[in-house]
Amino acid sequence: MTFAGKDILTTVGMKKNELIEVLGISAKMEGIVRNERVSTLLQDKVVAVLFLEPSTRTRLSFETAVKRLGAKAITVSDAKTSSGAKGETLADMAKTVEGYVDCIVVRQPTVGGAQIIADAVDIPVINGGDGAGQHPTQALLDLYTMQKERGNLEGLKVAMVGDLKFGRTVHSLTYALSPFNPKEYMFCAPDALQIQESIVNDMRAKGISCVKTASIEKALQADVLYMTRIQKERFEDLAEYEKLKGSYVLTREILFKGNKDITIMHPLPRVDEISSDVDDLPNAAYFRQAHNGVYVRMALLALVMGRA
C-alpha cells in the first residue's frame, strides 16, 4: 500500500504489511533524530496541528515531528481560541484550513469527528484522538515500543488495565496488534469500565483468546502490562468517577508478585495508577514509550505526504 495522500483515522482494518512498513520507517526516523537531529525531508510543507481537546504528549510530539522533518507547523492548542467556540462546524473549519496547509493533524472530543474532517478535505488527515473513539498514532507508537522492548510483536500476551470502556488508546491498540497473532488479550477493569463486547467479538472472530477480569494479579502474568488512567473527563456523573478512581494502583511490591519480565506501558498521563517507585525499574517503559511518539509521528507525516 502507498500511504501517500491517505488519511490515518483508525487502526481498524490496518494490514500487517502496512503496520510493518510504518514501524520500519519509524526506525529510520529515529536514526535521523539521533544522527542528524533535523531533516529537510518536508522543508516545503506546512502542517496544521489542531488540538481542540487538552493534550501534552500527542500535541508536542507532533509539533516536534513536524519540526524534525523541516516542515512548519501552525497550531491551535485550545478549543476556546478556535472558531468552533463561535459555532463553526468541524467540516467548515477543515475546508478553511485546507487552503493553508498540506496535512491536518487533529484532536477533538467527538467520536467520528476526524472522519468528518477527512470527508471535507482532499489533503491527508491524521487523527490525534477523537473522544472515546480511536487514537491510531498512539497505538502505532505502542507497537513500536513493544517491538523495541520485547524484540518482536508475535504471540504476545497483553493485559490492558483500567478504563477500557472510554480508553481510545486501548481500542486502537487492540486492533493494531491483532495481525501479529497475540497469544491472549486480558482486559482488566471494573465492570462499569470493561471493554466493549463488540471489540471482544471482533478479536475472537480473528481467533484471539480474550479474557475479562477485575484482578490485576492475573494481569501481571502477561508479557506486556498496559496501564491506563480512569478518565475523569469522560464521566457525566462525577460521583461514579469518585467511586471508580484508584481501582488499580501498580506498586513495586505488587509487581514483584507477577511476571518479573513483564513490560510496563502507559499512554500517559498517569494519575495514581502507577506508583513512582516503579519508575526506575528497567522494565518500566512508559517514558521511553512517550519519546517513541516523535519517531512514529515523523514516519506517518512523511508517509502520508509521499516522502518516506
The DSSP-derived string for 227-280 is: E----GGG-S-HHHHHHHTTS--B-HHHHTTS-TTPEEE--S--SSSB-GGGTT
Q: Where are the alpha helices (DSSP H) in 121-212?
A: 136-150, 168-177, 197-205
Cβ atoms < 10 Å from Cβ of 192: 12
Four-CA torsion 22, 23, 28, 31, nearest 10 degrees: 140
CA distance 137 to 148: 17
**Does the active-site annotation cover 75?**
no
Which of the residues 57, 212, 234, 291 is marked catalytic?
57
Which of the residues 34, 37, 86, 260 is marked catalytic?
86
Q: Where are the alpha helices (DSSP H) in the chain?
A: 16-35, 57-68, 90-98, 113-120, 136-150, 168-177, 197-205, 216-219, 238-244, 252-255, 286-304
**Does the active-site annotation cover 218?**
no
Under DSSP, the state recorded for 284 is: B
**Does the active-site annotation cover 58?**
yes
Q: Are 119 and 98 in contact (CB under 8 A)?
A: no
Which of the residues 45, 59, 68, 135 is marked catalytic?
135
Which of the residues 58, 137, 145, 228 is marked catalytic?
58
What cell numbers appear for 126 in the block? 491524521
Which of the residues 45, 59, 68, 107 is marked catalytic?
107
Q: How many Å is the Cα radius of gyration of the chain?
A: 19
What cell numbers appear for 49 in the block? 496541528
Cβ atoms < 10 Å from Cβ of 205: 8
Residues tagged active-site: 57-58, 86, 107, 135
